[in-house]
């Protein structure tokens, strides 16, 4: 009896080893495919692709918001737009990138105004990033900002969008390897610049927004343009606090300059006009 059990045990072990060796080629193939995908993700080529789309106009897409309502890309025209691509099953890099973007958006809202620009986060893993998942993604990161929308889309739209944004990603065994970028779109829907990294200095994000919000001519006339120019130069980055603030030294300098010019002008009038008349009399 013991010999029969031992023989059966050997048979079971042989089968297990056979199955294990049969699985190795499949596992190896998966690993090889992942390695191949990662190998094709060249950082230099990815950055070249991302930078190469600057100046291009984004097409008119239709997305779905967290309430299941359609959102048209054209509805964001007229204001600068920040586009961030994520996949909701990412619990590390995407989370840190979104949290840093949240910090930048809050800073920009405080400095420039909530009504001056918009932000959209779009899930590029279309099969997974449903409106419900995008809603959970925003809620779990404590994001409830008026000018920030979280959007879903279908596979075909996602594929076209990532190409237009110059966004590179590859599937890996743990999810996706992708470029960390926030795309800045101008008021007319053209790609203005790209901001890279999971954490970046505030000026890299704020300065393009300032240029778009304050430097572009408006239809309200010269007074509005002067106001925008003043705001542009007076909204400055304070490295000691890591935030933007309105710098009143601009006005102080203007006032001092006005006093100096006025005093010089008065002195010249007095010397060349008033004093000669007194001498002649």
* 119 against 33, higher pLDDT: 119
Same domain, 90 and 122: yes
Query: For the chain, what is the domain count?
Result: 3
In this model, does residue 194 exceed pLDDT 90?
yes
Determine which of 184-193, 231-240, 257-266 has the lowest per-residue pLDDT on average: 231-240
Same domain, 21 and 52: no
**How much is the mean pLDDT over the chain?**
76
Same domain, 21 and 87: no
Same domain, 59 and 14: no
- Does residue 227 sit within a domain? no
Domain interval for residue 7: 2-40
* 174 against 96, higher pLDDT: 96
pLDDT reported for residue 258: 61
| Alpha carbons 234 and 236: distance in angstroms, whole number | 6
pLDDT reported for residue 23: 35
- Residues in CB range of 115: below 8 A, 6 or more apart: 147
Domain boundary among 135, 169, 201: 201
DSSP count for the chain of H helices, then E strands: 9, 11
Determine which of 66-80, 149-163, 194-208, 253-267 has the lowest per-residue pLDDT on average: 253-267
> Across the strands, what pairs with 216?
none
Same domain, 80 and 177: yes
As a whole number, mean pLDDT of residues 19-48 equals 46
pLDDT reported for residue 253: 55
- Does residue 223 sit within a domain? no
Which secondary-structure segment (H or E) carries 235?
strand 235-238
- Does residue 55 sit within a domain? yes
User: pLDDT tens-digit profile of 38-81?
Assistant: 334 567 888 899 999 999 999 999 999 999 999 999 999 999 99
- Does residue 234 sit within a domain? no
Same domain, 186 and 120: yes
Same domain, 53 and 100: yes
User: pLDDT tens-digit profile of 73-117?
Assistant: 999 999 999 999 999 998 778 888 999 999 999 999 998 999 999
R_g (Cα) of the chain, nearest Å: 30
pLDDT reported for residue 7: 44
- Residues in CB range of 54: below 8 A, 6 or more apart: 191, 192, 193, 194
| Alpha carbons 12 and 20: distance in angstroms, whole number | 12
Same domain, 131 and 12: no
Same domain, 52 and 125: yes
Same domain, 136 and 266: no
pLDDT reported for residue 219: 44
Same domain, 192 and 110: yes
- Does residue 29 sit within a domain? yes
User: pLDDT tens-digit profile of 102-157?
Assistant: 999 999 999 899 999 999 999 999 999 999 999 999 999 999 999 999 999 999 99
- Does residue 220 sit within a domain? no
User: pLDDT tens-digit profile of 207-227?
Assistant: 999 999 987 544 444 334 444
Same domain, 167 and 281: no
- Does residue 233 sit within a domain? no
Q: How confident is the model at residue 241 (pLDDT cuts 50, 70, 90)?
A: low
Determine which of 17-26, 82-91, 127-136, 171-180 has the lowest per-residue pLDDT on average: 17-26
Look up the CATH number of the domain holding residue 140.
Answer: 3.40.30.10
- Does residue 266 sit within a domain? yes
């Amino acid at each position: 009896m013991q010999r029969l059990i031992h023989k059966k045990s050997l048979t079971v072990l042989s089968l297990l080893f056979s199955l294990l060796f049969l699985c190795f080629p499949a596992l190896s193939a998966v690993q090889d495919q992942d390695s191949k995908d990662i190998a094709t993700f060249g950082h230099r080529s990815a950055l070249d692709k991302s930078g190469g789309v600057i100046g291009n106009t984004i097409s008119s897409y239709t997305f779905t918001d967290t309430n299941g309502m359609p959102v048209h890309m054209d509805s964001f025209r007229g204001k600068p737009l920040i586009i961030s691509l994520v996949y909701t099953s990412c619990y590390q890099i995407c989370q840190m990138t979104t949290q840093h973007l949240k910090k930048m958006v809050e800073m920009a809202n405080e400095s420039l105004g909530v009504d001056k620009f918009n932000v959209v986060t779009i899930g590029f893993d279309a099969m997974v990033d449903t409106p419900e998942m995008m809603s959970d993604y925003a809620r779990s990161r404590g994001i409830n900002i008026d000018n920030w929308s979280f959007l879903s889309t279908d596979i075909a739209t996602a594929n076209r969008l990532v190409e237009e944004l110059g966004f590179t990603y590859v599937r890996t065994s743990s999810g996706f390897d992708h470029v960390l970028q926030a795309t800045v779109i101008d008021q007319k829907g053209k790609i203005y610049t790209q901001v890279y990294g999971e954490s970046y200095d505030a000026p890299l994000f704020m300065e393009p927004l300032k240029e778009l919000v304050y430097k572009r001519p408006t239809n309200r006339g010269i007074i509005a343009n002067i106001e925008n120019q003043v705001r542009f130069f007076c909204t400055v980055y304070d490295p000691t606090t890591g935030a933007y603030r309105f710098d009143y030294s601009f006005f102080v300098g203007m006032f001092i300059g006005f006093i100096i010019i006025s005093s010089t002008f008065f002195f010249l009038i007095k010397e060349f006009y008033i004093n000669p008349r007194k001498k002649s009399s």
